[in-house]
Amino acid sequence: MTLQSDAPAHLRDDVRTLVSQLSLDEKVSLLTGSTAWRLHALPTVGLRSLAMSDGPVGVRGLGEIEGETSALFPTPSAIGATWDPALAHEIGRAFGQEARGHGVDLVLAPQVNIQRTPLGGRHFECYSEDPLLTSLIGTSVVQGIQAQGVAGCVKHFIANDSETDRTNYVARVGEQALREVYLAPFEHAVETGGAWSVMAAYNGVDDGVEASPMTDHHRLVTGLLKGELGFDGVVVSDWMATRTTSGSANGGLDLIMPGPGGPWDEQLRDAVLAGDVAESVIDDKVARILTLARRVGALDEPEQDLGPEIDLADLIMTTAARATVLLKRSETPVWDSPAPGRIALIGPNAVRPHVLGGGSSTVHPLHVVSPEEGLRARFPAAEVVVRRGGDSRRNAPDLETTGVLTALYLDSDDLIFDTRIHDSWDGWLRDLPERTHSVTLLTEVELAEPGEHYLEVATVGGHRTVIDGVLVHEDDVPVGVEVILDSSINTPEGWGTTIVVDQPRRVLVESSHLVIHAGGYGTMIRAALRHRKPGTDAGAEIATAVAAARESDLTVVVVGTNEEVESEGWDRADLQLPGRQNDLVEAVLDVDPDAVIIVNAGAPVILPWLERAKTVLWAWFPGQEMGHSLAAILAGDLEPAGRLPWTLPAREDDSPAPGVQPDSDGSLHYEESIHVGYRQWERLGLTPAAPFGHGLGWTDWSYDTVGEPAWNDEGGLTVDVTITNTGARDGRETVQLYLEPPAGASVERPVRWLGAFASVSVEAGATTVITLVVPRRSFEAWDSASHHWTRVTGRYAARIGRSIRDLRLDAAVQVVPDERSSPFTTTLTTTQQLGDTQ
């Protein structure tokens, strides 16, 4: 067994010694989790239990402490929008600090899959549609996490870019696209970031040679990841993803989660004894886990300089602002206007902001600062009037108060063996007694307001629900882990009835539920109680919102998506804002053309009113400090310095985004090859609503000159660009360099692709020089015929500017086999400097 490692040689010798001391049973025990989030301990060799936690937007913890809270960070698409690897590193360091506080050794983050299509349900959990931006941001997060002595787990390896039938589909990806686009962020995280863990995805991949589930894929996991890239860490399965014993063990998987049980457990021991899996394969897996344990201090507690304590609230707020993209800017910015005496805060996401996407990335912060809280704190003298303007959610809201809820536990003979009283109800019962076959829930709901009330119970699996004496639905089909894997358990379908109330009355809800047996996730009941009150007509609410806008000095409209739209487990059907939000925006703009429109969404949505609005901000899912961040931006305290990490379509029919529905045979074809995201927009010559890299900020910029370039020691190109902040206030600029290929290139190339970027803060009126580093790989392509990287020679155009469509400096780069002798020329374009008031 040979391990490549950043650890010293004596550590690897020590690991080998430890492995040799273990019995086969002990070794096999380390390769499946002991619980949903922990590994087995081996006190005989000084190994404590390693702990894991979900982590794309915060470290949720282990679920072992009731009421455990965690810091909620901006989602990865927001981190990508900062275009700032240094800030991403600080976010990673904060994740590591949080993990230490929760007793977590390995954080299941970052997710470096490519935003192949805006229809992807987990689009918000990824950084960008571009492989270079994803690579640099993702690797920085890994390095930040691991600087705290906590492992980052880079996921999901590989081509796990949509959710429809995600545990079964086979991604059929061409060799060039696989290497240049989808592998690139993993390669960078391993070779540059030194990642300690990688997660094997649910889906299968057909790479042209082997078509296997990623937990079994020997060619990609053992041959490519561990062999060619030299990955010396642990490959862990996605939760409940592994279905085979020998196939996954020989394929290269090191650890199955969750546990106990699963396809390894005792079966793996038997496979070794039968000769189906060599014991040396087991030894390699154990050595990797012990190496991971040593790195995170689970074999000992090494002294580490973890750096100063991070002020999480401040970091989250400033990151949210740095990520916010100013899509359009009024000639008179809102921060440069007189202080408002009356603010109308309007929109469904103003009342109920969506600060994180749905699914496994969910964390529970101690408090979320709402837009209303933020505005009241920043503008204490202003009157803030809040109007929803219609409900954008399909499902009724959760019942605000349930009163006392009684849970009756029944065995398989339908005999009650336990009764428990709950003073509050969050919709879940977990870790049920072993003899539990079903649970009956009983509660009375007080309905006081006259009118039509709608009550429902939302659930999955077998159930029988009676509301106010009416049987509203029943189903005797049991469900299992599939409702977790498809995330339907998180936003379940509801069944209910309408109740007309003339005077206050109490309504009995009685709902019986079969236990869900979810493998390593344990046993559970899911029953969300929902209630839609009278008087929720969207048209009437829009009219009330318009009246508030008409009477205000400042109107702020917050629209966006929600947990029903953007979530793990399912893909989006379209790119539309849910409900009547577009009608709301149009109606408000009719009476207040200066209204500030804020989009609270992780992935692209169509904005038919974009041309009408004067100020539009894309705020992402910004985390727990959303209100403070937005208020600071509107007041001019912080600049919305983000740049789009993806392309915003103007019309859904224009979008070249590929679909997410596998064929009838379970195949998902990556027919666009290397032309992903903005590359396809450029290839087809389509005009988006806002291009990749777009973002205005609060100031203006001139692009002045390109300095003398130089080839660096790594074979890449270093280019100095001089820019000037021509505006009246300090600002932050992201300089972007795009490459266009030589004519007649021997290998297929995109029309234009991101070659380098860098961000810099500049005082008003000041000039600065920013250095761009174009990596060697930008001048290379994967040759599928010879199966290796080839340097694509010829004359490249280097286009420098503020976005892929706002290019202000042109240069030419001649790449020859001996790159150090290549000439370089530059010119200033005559392109109009677009975007100052767009």
User: Got the DSSP string for 272-339?
Assistant: HHTTSS-HHHHHHHHHHHHHHHHHHTSSS-------SPP-HHHHHHHHHHHH-EEEE--SS-GGGSPP
Can you give the pLDDT at residue 5? 40
- Distance in angstroms (rounded) separating the CA atoms of residues 334 and 774: 37
d(CA 321, CA 629): 6
Q: Is 20 strand, coil or helix? A: helix
Residue 836 has pLDDT above 60, yes or no: no
Side chain identity at residue 153, one-letter code: C
Q: Encoding tokens for residue 176?
A: 């060039």
The residue from 238, 254, 391, 806 that is catalytic is 238
Token pair 């704190």 is found at 377
User: What are 96's two structure tokens?
Assistant: 């590591």
238 flagged as catalytic: yes
pLDDT digits 0-9 by tens, 558-592: 999 998 999 988 999 999 999 999 999 999 999 99
Distance CA 243, CA 259 (A): 13
Is pLDDT of 829 > 50? Answer: no
Which of the four pLDDT bands, split at 50, 70 and 90, describes residue 55?
confident
Q: Which pLDDT does position 818 carry in this prediction? A: 59
Cβ neighbours around 544 below 10 Å, total: 15
Mean pLDDT over all residues of the chain?
93
> Using CA atoms in the order 560, 564, 569, 575, what is the torsion angle rounded to 10 degrees?
-40
**Mean local confidence (pLDDT), 713-742:** 96
Q: Using alpha carbons only, how large is the chain's radius of gyration in Å?
A: 28
* Contact (CB, 8 A) for 176 and 132: no
pLDDT bracket for residue 821 (50, 70, 90): very low
pLDDT at 825 over 60: no
Which of these, 404, 498, 506, lies nearest to 455 by C-alpha position? 498
Structure-block tokens of residue 412: 């398989």
Question: Position 408: which residue type?
Answer: L
* pLDDT value at 505 more than 70: yes
Mean pLDDT to the nearest integer, 791-812: 96
What pLDDT score does 400 carry?
Answer: 84
Q: CA-to-CA distance for 24 and 128, rounded, in angstroms?
A: 44
**Omega of the bond prior to 645 within 30 degrees of 0, cis?**
no
Separation of alpha carbons 833 and 702, rounded Å: 8
Residue 302 has a pLDDT of: 64
For the cut 90, the answer to whether the pLDDT of residue 273 exceeds it is yes
Instruction: Look at residue 360 in the predicted model and tell me its pLDDT.
Output: 79
Bridge partners for 814 per DSSP: 795
Q: Quote the CA–CA distance of 78 and 123 in Å, as a whole number.
A: 11
pLDDT at 656 over 90: no
- How would residue 444 be classed by pLDDT, with cut points 50, 70 and 90? very high
What's the helix, strand, coil split of the chain in %, to 5? Answer: 25, 25, 50
Q: What percent of the chain has pLDDT over 90?
A: 85
Q: Which long-range contacts (CB under 8 A, 24 or more apart) does 84-87 make?
A: 84/322, 84/759, 85/136, 85/137, 85/139, 85/140, 86/140, 87/319, 87/322
Select from 310, 271, 264 the least CA-distant residue to 289: 264
| pLDDT of 362 | 86
Of 231, 213, 290, the residue nearest 50 (C-alpha): 290
Residue with tokens 């007649």: 744
Exposure of 785 by Cβ count < 10 A (0-12 exposed, 13-18 middle, 19+ buried)? exposed
Residue 828: its pLDDT value, please?
41
Q: Which residue has the tokens 């009731």?
A: 66
Q: How many CB atoms lie within 10 A of CB 263?
A: 19
Q: Cα separation of 268 and 246, whole Å?
A: 7
Tell me the three state secondary structure of residue 381: coil
Q: Encoding tokens for residue 777? A: 């790989």
Q: Find the mean pLDDT for residues 58-83.
A: 92
Buried b (16+ CB within 10 A) or exposed e, 423-455: eebebebeebeeebebbbbebebebeeeeebbb
Mean pLDDT, range 127-139, rounded to an integer: 98
- Give residue for tokens 């540059």: 192
306-318 average pLDDT score:
91
Tens digits of per-residue pLDDT, 513-557? Answer: 999 999 888 999 999 999 999 987 899 999 999 999 999 999 999
Query: What integer is the mean pLDDT of 679-703?
Result: 97
Cβ-contact 461, 467 below 8 angstroms: no
What is the average per-residue pLDDT within 171-177?
97
pLDDT in tens, 208-221: 999 999 999 999 99
Residue 169 CB partners (closer than 8 Å, separation 6+): 203, 204, 662, 666, 667, 668
Is 599 in contact with 618 (CB distance < 8 Å)? yes
Residue 820 pLDDT more than 60?
A: no
The region, left, alpha or beta by phi > 0 then psi within -120 to 50, assigned to residue 207 is: alpha
Of 65 and 743, the one with more pLDDT: 743
User: Per-residue pLDDT for 22 more than 70?
Assistant: yes
Range 251-274 average pLDDT: 96
Q: Among candidates 419, 490, 502, 418, which has minimal Cα distance to 459? A: 490
Quote the pTM value. Answer: 0.94
Q: Work out the burial of residue 729: count CB atoms within 10 Å of its CB; fewer than 13 is exposed, 13-18 middle, 19 or more buried.
A: middle
